[in-house]
């Protein structure tokens, strides 16, 4: 059983043990005294995660004097439990707590080159990098998250009835496929995706054997299909060109920010016009022989600035919202004008 709760004085030794276990890769030994002093003297919120009665992660946040900027601080996970979703749970709990504080508009943090890509998935963007800033071999990455931008994006996202989910793909856009498994997130671009059925709604997508995303889909049994916009042209091309194995920080380099949808432990790419959360319907022969994957759509959403009342409204939206359609060699087309046939 896993529980997130406030730090108590009796947790001190367990938290210091977590620090020691993450030294010297993530922390410099010289920082231990500062962390111990924080635990003993700080009045700022600090959380721990307990699993089966043992503290396996801890982290807190503080507010600046003006009350408008919060900072994440002293976050860590038991080293033998990295990659099990604890860091994500800890970060989300801290961000949820910060969002509940009136007036906070930004979240800052200092991390290292080892974890900056992880925080980029939550929307943090680098503002300064100081080589060896924390100690020899540990660079300091100053990062910032704007809550207003993310909350505004969520404010335009509305659920799409599942019986109308097929309309999100009916016009044949290039899509982004994202998946999460074993604490790893990845996003890839794909050109071959198609609605398959109405009730329950299903879709198909072709995922090449060489892609890391395919491995994550097979491991987790879930994935997300999203419709990128013309404004995301470079992002779409980048995640479709570079692999996670060769470029571990590819999401950060491509400028990918991830959204959270309530009830789904899946990586949703921010800035898209539509999202479809899918449960894999295993078809081993199709997957092995044709790279063809079938998913049942279990959740669907769209940005109301371009899709509402069950229909796309590209003609009324800013051109940056138009969907992308891939040809070859880096060439995309944006969807064009609407043409209405005359009945009869």
CATH number at residue 234: 2.30.110.10
**Digit-coded pLDDT (tens) for 73-90:** 999 999 999 888 888 889
User: Beta-carbon neighbour count of residue 329 at 10 Å?
Assistant: 5
Quick one: 306 and 226 in the same domain?
yes
Query: Is 56 among the domain residues?
Result: yes
Query: What b/e sequence results for 5-31 when a residue is b if at least 16 CB atoms lie within 10 Å of its CB, and e otherwise?
Result: eebeeebeebbeebbebbbeebbbeeb
Residue ending a domain, choose from 131, 153, 175: 153
Residue ending a domain, choose from 129, 153, 177: 153
Radius of gyration (C-alpha) of the chain in whole angstroms: 22
Query: Is 344 among the domain residues?
Result: no
Quick one: 234 and 138 in the same domain?
no
Quick one: 111 and 193 in the same domain?
no
Task: Read off the tokens for 184.
Answer: 């790893």
Domain span holding position 64: 2-153
Quick one: 113 and 170 in the same domain?
no
User: Beta-carbon neighbour count of residue 298 at 10 Å?
Assistant: 17
Quick one: 228 and 139 in the same domain?
no
> Do the beta carbons of residue 240 and residue 232 sit within 8 Å?
no
The whole model's pTM is what? 0.63
Number of domains in the chain: 2
Task: Read off the tokens for 25.
Answer: 């890769």
Quick one: 78 and 196 in the same domain?
no
Quick one: 89 and 172 in the same domain?
no
Q: Would you state the pLDDT for residue 221?
A: 97
**Has residue 332 got a pLDDT over 80?**
yes
Q: Which CATH number belongs to the domain containing residue 90 in this structure?
A: 3.40.630.30
**Digit-coded pLDDT (tens) for 116-168:** 888 887 878 888 889 999 888 889 999 988 886 544 556 689 999 999 999 99
Quick one: 8 and 142 in the same domain?
yes
Query: Is 298 among the domain residues?
Result: yes
Quick one: 7 and 118 in the same domain?
yes
Query: Is 296 among the domain residues?
Result: yes
Query: Is 337 among the domain residues?
Result: no
Quick one: 90 and 15 in the same domain?
yes
For the chain, how far is it from start to end, CA to CA, in angstroms? 63
**Has residue 187 got a pLDDT over 60?**
yes
Residue ending a domain, choose from 104, 134, 153: 153
Query: Is 86 among the domain residues?
Result: yes
Quick one: 135 and 195 in the same domain?
no
Q: Is the peptide bond before 123 cis (omega within 30 degrees of 0)?
A: no
Q: Considering the chain, what percentage of its residues have pLDDT values greater than 70?
A: 98
**Has residue 103 got a pLDDT over 90?**
no
3-state SS of the chain? Answer: CEEEEECCHHHHHHHHHHHHHCCCCCCCHHHHHHHHHHHHHCCCCEEEEEECCEEEEEEEEEECCCCCEEEEEEEEECHHHCCCCHHHHHHHHHHHHHHCCCCCCEEEEEECCCCHHHHHCCCCEEEEEEEEEEECCEEEEEEEEEHHHHHHHHHCEEECCHHHHHHHCCCCCCEEEEEEECCEEEEEEECCEEEEEECCEEEEEECCCCCHHHHHHHHHCEEEEEECEHHHHHHHHHHHHCCCCCCCCHHHHHCCCEEEECCEEEEEECCCCEEEEEEEECCHHHHHHHCEEEEEEEEEEEECCCEECCEECCCCCCHHHCEEEEEECCEEEECCCCCCCCCC
The candidate with the shortest Cα–Cα distance to 77, out of 179, 183, 181, is: 183
**Has residue 341 got a pLDDT over 60?**
yes
Quick one: 112 and 226 in the same domain?
no
Query: Is 336 among the domain residues?
Result: no
**Has residue 218 got a pLDDT over 60?**
yes
State the average pLDDT over residues 6-16.
Answer: 95
């Amino acid at each position: 059983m896993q529980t997130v709760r406030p730090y108590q004085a009796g947790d001190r030794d367990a938290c210091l043990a977590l620090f020691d276990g993450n030294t010297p890769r993530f922390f410099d030994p010289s920082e231990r005294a500062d962390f111990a002093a924080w635990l003993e003297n700080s009045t700022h919120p600090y959380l721990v995660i307990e699993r089966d009665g043992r503290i396996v992660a801890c982290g807190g946040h503080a507010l600046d004097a003006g009350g408008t900027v919060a900072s994440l601080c002293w976050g860590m996970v038991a080293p033998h439990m990295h990659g099990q979703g604890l860091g994500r749970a800890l970060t989300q709990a801290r961000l949820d707590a910060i969002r509940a504080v009136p007036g906070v508009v930004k979240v800052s943090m200092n991390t290292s080159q080892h974890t900056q890509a992880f925080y980029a998935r939550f929307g943090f963007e680098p503002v300064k990098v100081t080589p060896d800033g924390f100690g020899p071999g540990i660079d300091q990455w100053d990062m910032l998250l704007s809550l207003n931008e993310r909350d505004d994006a969520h404010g335009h996202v509305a659920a799409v009835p599942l019986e109308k989910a097929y309309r999100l793909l009916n016009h044949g856009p290039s899509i982004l496929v994202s998946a999460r498994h074993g604490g790893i997130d990845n996003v890839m671009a794909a050109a071959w995706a198609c609605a398959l059925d109405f009730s329950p709604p299903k879709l198909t997508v072709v995922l090449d054997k060489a892609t890391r995303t395919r491995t994550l889909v097979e491991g987790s049994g879930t994935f997300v299909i999203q419709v990128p916009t013309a404004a995301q042209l470079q992002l779409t091309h980048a995640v479709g060109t570079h692999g996670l194995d060769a470029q571990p920080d590819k999401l950060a380099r491509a400028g990918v920010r991830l959204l959270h949808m309530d009830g789904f432990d899946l990586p949703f790419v921010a800035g898209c016009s539509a999202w479809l959360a899918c449960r894999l319907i295993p078809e081993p022969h199709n997957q092995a022989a044709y790279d063809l994957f079938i998913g049942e759509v279990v959740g669907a959403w769209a940005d109301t600035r371009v899709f509402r009342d069950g229909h796309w409204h590209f003609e009324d939206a800013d051109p940056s919202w138009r969907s992308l359609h891939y040809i070859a060699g880096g060439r995309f087309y944006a969807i064009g004008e609407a043409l209405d046939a005359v009945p009869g």
